[in-house]
Structure 1
Amino acid sequence: MSDDQCELLCIDFDHAEALRTALPAAEELTRRAERLRALGDPTRLRIAHALHVGDELCVCDLAWIVGSSQGLVSHHLRQLRSAGLVGSRRDGKLVMYRLNATGHQVLDTVTASITAEVDPV
């Protein structure tokens, strides 16, 4: 038998049911997974970090900072915006991007937890 499965079916129903009903709704978990997935790509994570410290940047600046083409950066920015992490505004012929409050919070949380895991204090 596999080491990751019980050999006997036994459920502590009261405890298991309390935990099951305490889980966030499926829609909320889907939204959270999309946000985490958006930061799961190294280029998108670099873009998010650049926006985190650079506040508001255009695609040209972001492309230079992360070392990718403007087209690729634009593609990743659309994904970050779709995940609800980035906002944009038009400034003449430029489109300026910034992490929104959710983006800052998610990036801070993910970075802190990973950093603590790698560098325990």
Structure 2
Amino acid sequence: MTEPARPDDQCDLLCLDLPHAEHIRTTLPDLEVLTARAALGRALADPTRLAVAAALLAGDELCVCDMAWVVGHAQNLASHHLRQLRSAGLVTSRRDGKLVMYRLTPVGRELVRAVLGPAVSEV
């Protein structure tokens, strides 16, 4: 008779290093912080938004027209994704005459670097 299959991601024995586990549990960020950080991660979960963010990392500051050309999408789609990144706090914008210029926030820059690693070059 064969044993039933066990998932490889579970312990075969219930063991708990309670002092160690409790220390880790008490040092975790609270739910509000985790929720906010998860929202940042979701903002880069779309390939187009990630491409937009990577372009900003590489180009420092871009207008919507340049961004649309760089990522190969229509201006309205590039603008939509830039608004989502701005809503998440990863991008800021400023008006320069008739242009709206976008750039990554410090948090956005750090997160894009972490997600893309050495796959992107910066200015």
* TM-score range relative to shorter protein: 0.7 to 0.9
The one-letter code matched in structure 2 to 1:45 is L
Tell me, yes or no, if structure 1 residue 2 matches structure 2 residue 7.
yes
Match of 2:19 among 5, 9, 14: 14
The one-letter code matched in structure 1 to 2:104 is L
Mapped to 1, the partners of 2:57 and 2:9 lie a distance apart of: 40
Percent of paired sites with the same residue? 63
After TM superposition, the structure 1 = structure 2 runs for residues 68-87 of structure 1, keeping only pairs within 5 Å, are: 68-87=73-92
Normalising by structure 2, we get a TM-score of 0.81
After TM superposition, the structure 1 = structure 2 runs for residues 43-82 of structure 1, keeping only pairs within 5 Å, are: 43-82=48-87
The one-letter code matched in structure 1 to 2:107 is T
- The runs of at least 4 aligned residues of structure 1 exceeding 6 Å deviation read none
Aligned-residue Cα RMSD (Å) equals 1.7
CA distances 1:14-54 after superposition (whole Å, capped 9, x unpaired): 11111111111222222222212211211111111111121
Normalising by structure 1, we get a TM-score of 0.82
Instruction: Structure 1: give runs of 5+ residues left out of the alignment.
Output: 116-121
Farther-moved stretch of structure 1 (81-90 vs 103-112): 103-112
The structure with the greater share of residues assigned to helix is 1
Instruction: Structure 2: give runs of 5+ residues left out of the alignment.
Output: 1-5
Tell me, yes or no, if structure 1 residue 32 matches structure 2 residue 52.
no
CA deviation after TM superposition for structure 1 residue 109, in Å: 2.0
